Amino acid sequence: MKYLIAGLGNIGLEYSNTRHNIGFMVLDALASASNAVFTSQRYGATAEIKHKGRTFILLKPSTYMNLSGRAVSYWLKKEKIPVENMLVVTDDVALPLGALRIRKKGSDGGHNGLKSIIEVIATQDFNRLRFGIGNDFPKGYQVDFVLGEWSSEEKKVLPERIDMAGSIILSFGTIGVDRTMNQFNNK
């Protein structure tokens, strides 16, 4: 069984330590834990890990957030992975810092990466792991907050939550989305 795990973010050093790039950060940690290395490919950097007989294709799109759908669609087709075997890892301002929620479907919630994926693959019915980044910003400053770098206090929370996100991804591939939701959504 093959799974596509798409971590959303923006390429470039200026974005590497921003809240919007948590999808990239989660995939980097998961690849590192498995001694996998990302290689630049069409529409993104990919790494492959194996876990309990499953193959996980980790994708960090190089299309920038607003065009993530192009990369996701390409890799789903290239690897012949059904949409139900895809998990998109994304930041979410509607969740408190470090909160993790896996869902089977939903709207884009104002997230341009999810909006692009929904438009290109023509469905909202795909799994997503929402990583809470909080919403500690004044009205009208969401873009600055999301594209801003993590504070030193936020950075203290990240390692454990990123590890948990990796566990959720592996669980998704081994015991399925429903059991993973039951096991992790309230932790």
pLDDT of residue 14: 92
Domains in the chain, CATH or no CATH each = 2-184 (3.40.50.1470)
Residue 165's identity, in one-letter code, is A
The DSSP output letter for 150 is P
Q: Mean pLDDT, to the nearest integer, of 64-76?
A: 96
Q: Which helix (H) or strand (E) holds 63?
A: none
Handedness of CA 25, 27, 28, 30 (dihedral sign): positive
Where does residue 68 rank: exposed (0-12), middle (13-18), buried (19+ CB within 10 A)?
buried
Question: Does residue 111 carry a catalytic annotation?
Answer: no
The pLDDT, as a whole number, for residue 8 is: 97
The angle subtended at Cα 98 by Cα 10 and Cα 144, nearest 5°, is: 45
pLDDT at 48: 98
Catalytic residue among 19, 20, 60, 101: 20
Which residues have C-beta within 8 Å of that of residue 167, sequence separation ≥ 6? 184
Q: What is the average per-residue pLDDT within 104-112?
A: 93
Task: Output the pLDDT for position 99.
Answer: 96
Instruction: For residue 136, name the pLDDT band (cuts at 50, 70, 90).
Output: confident
Q: Mean pLDDT in the chain? A: 95
Q: Per residue in 145-187, pLDDT tens?
A: 999 999 999 999 999 999 999 999 999 999 999 999 999 987 6
Coil, strand, or helix at residue 31? helix
- pTM equals 0.96
